[in-house]
Amino acid sequence: MPRVRLALWAAAVLAACGLGLLLIPRGAPEPGPAAVGGPFTLTSDKGTRVKSSDFDGTYRLIYFGYTYCPDVCPTELSRMASVLERLGAKADRIQPLFVTVDPERDTPDVLRAYVKHFGPRLVGLTGTPEELKPVLSAFRVYSRKQEQAGSAVGYLMDHSSVLYLMGTEGEFITFFTADDAVEDIAERLAALP
């Protein structure tokens, strides 16, 4: 179990998605528990209640974003799909998950129509704001509504863009960002025990 120290900078504004930067130093281990993630109960894009323990026995790749995201989310979800394609049969032991930071608009129906564009196995998860809040907090996800005056979409969500790799019991293993090449992520996942 790697020990990591987390630091959150909700500072830089990047691209149209307005990224909050989540920086998790990957350097020397420091004291303290690896406190990323945790159990959750949410609603799937099929409208069923889903517990994190339902995925026990499989690794999970978890990305937090929202379906109205103009650029960053589709880009990262496409990269996740490419990673899984590269893995071939080894992808079967990894469950890709997309958790919304915009439950107001991302209903199960909206999520279902969206996730199918990023591979057959991607599961979308939503919930009430009250359900999602502790999950976002546990994964150190930064998100904030940004009103867009005069825009048809109404608002965007500033959000951190991090792909989490969790273990077969939901424990944190590592994370990837846009700086990690698809080939490198695939290599890391292929090497999982």
Contact between 72 and Ni ion (CB under 5 A)?
yes
How far the first Cα of the chain sits from its last, in Å, is 13
CB of 169 to Ni ion, least distance (A): 28
Q: Residue 65 in contact with residue 33, Cβ under 8 Å? A: no
Contact between 141 and Ni ion (CB under 5 A)?
no
Residue with tokens 């490198």: 184
Nearer to Ni ion, 17 or 173 (CB): 17
Residues of the chain by 3-state class (helix, strand, coil), percent to 5: 30, 25, 45
- Torsion (CA) 59, 82, 121, 39 in degrees, nearest 10: 30
Q: Residue 126 in contact with residue 66, Cβ under 8 Å? A: no
Contact between 80 and Ni ion (CB under 5 A)?
no
Q: Which of residues 3-22 bind Ni ion (CB under 5 A)?
A: 17
CB of 62 to Ni ion, least distance (A): 14
- Element counts in the chain: helices (H) and strands (E): 4, 11
Contact between 24 and Ni ion (CB under 5 A)?
no
Nearer to Ni ion, 65 or 127 (CB): 65
Site string for Ni ion, 153-182 (x = CB under 5 A): ------------------------------
Chain residues binding Ni ion by CB under 5 A are: 17, 65, 69, 72-73
